[in-house]
Chain A
């Protein structure tokens, strides 16, 4: 089981646990979308983390047959805009974090390639294979 967390610029948070989402007591879409400064996704002992003011999205991917359904991937993603200048990706065995910087440059950050502008940077946990991917995608899921 897991949860996602939206962190806002005013210091508040909105948490969607898997239980609350499945019972329709929490919703990514219906919760506040503006002023997000970071998003976390936790699943078992895996943590995906994205920081930097911007537009975010969260989704889960499934495979369904008529008699079975499995969760295959969990994603968080951030839209990259012209105002984004630098990025940094840090990985450990169980975590992956992406920071998008707009106004400053920290050592270790790299310049965002111009071809990323308008696309989405995705952090994805493959639930079945138990590994973390990050990639650029044209659209959010």
Chain B
């Protein structure tokens, strides 16, 4: 590969190379928001960078199946009732210090600077969420070169208040992007 993306939980920190535990949450609540930093080893910027989630591609160690988990997580985002709403959420307003208003809610699944992963939004590379400049990117979808570009976002999971199955859910966080040598 002519370029490799590196995920970390500190700016320029040790690369994540396995599962990141988001912790647990009771019904109707969220996990603690986790800051994720993105950088790459290319000599030029990467472009068209966009986030989404997908079915876990590594060894599954959750409570059901990888396919069932991603389906359930997306259905939480799709929910048409507040009791059913939840799922994986992004706060992409790092330059605004991750304001509470950028976290999605049932009433606003895509507030300014935030998104809920659901059918058609952040559920595939074709529906990926462009990395905005509020993450520290130099332009929408553009992650600059350097070992500490300070491009970062927060993510968390919200467990629906109506959820009745306790267990571990797993999914992949993915970044689609383009590179020119």
A residues in contact (CB < 8 Å) with B: 16, 18, 21-22, 24, 26-29, 57-69, 71-72, 75, 141
Q: Is B172 an interface residue (CB 8 A)?
A: yes
Identity of the chain B residue whose Cβ is nearest the Cβ of A4 in the assembled complex? B181
Identity of the chain B residue whose Cβ is nearest the Cβ of A20 in the assembled complex? B181
Q: Is B5 an interface residue (CB 8 A)?
A: yes
B residues in contact (CB < 8 Å) with A: 1-5, 7, 15-18, 20, 43-44, 47-48, 54, 57-58, 125, 172-181
Instruction: Say which residue of A58, A59, A64, A141 sits within 8 Å of B5 (CB atoms).
Output: A64
Q: Can you name 18 extra interface pairs (CB under 8 A) apart from A60-B2, A64-B5?
A: A16-B181, A21-B2, A22-B2, A24-B2, A26-B181, A29-B44, A60-B178, A62-B176, A62-B177, A62-B178, A63-B174, A64-B176, A65-B54, A66-B173, A67-B17, A69-B5, A71-B1, A141-B178
Instruction: Say which residue of A24, A57, A71, A72 sits within 8 Å of B180 (CB atoms).
Output: A57
**Top-5 shortest CB links A-B:** A64-B5, A66-B16, A141-B178, A66-B7, A21-B181
Q: Does A22 lie within 8 Å of B1, measured CB to CB?
A: yes
Instruction: Say which residue of B48, B175, B181 sits within 8 Å of A28 (CB atoms).
Output: B181
Instruction: Say which residue of A18, A60, A65, A75 sits within 8 Å of B57 (CB atoms).
Output: A65
Known contacts A21-B2, A59-B179, A71-B1: A65-B43 contact under CB 8 Å: no
- Interface residues of A: mostly helix, strand, loop or mixed? strand
Write out the residue numbers on chain A whose beta carbons fall within 8 Å of the beta carbon of B43. 24, 27
Known contacts A26-B181, A71-B1, A141-B178: A66-B15 contact under CB 8 Å: yes
Q: Does B176 lie within 8 Å of A63, measured CB to CB?
A: yes
Q: Does A61 lie within 8 Å of B176, measured CB to CB?
A: yes
Write out the residue numbers on chain B whose beta carbons fall within 8 Å of the beta carbon of A21. 2, 181
Write out the residue numbers on chain B whose beta carbons fall within 8 Å of the beta carbon of A28. 180-181
Write out the residue numbers on chain B whose beta carbons fall within 8 Å of the beta carbon of A22. 1-2
Write out the residue numbers on chain A whose beta carbons fall within 8 Å of the beta carbon of B176. 61-64, 72
Write out the residue numbers on chain A whose beta carbons fall within 8 Å of the beta carbon of B180. 28-29, 57-60, 141
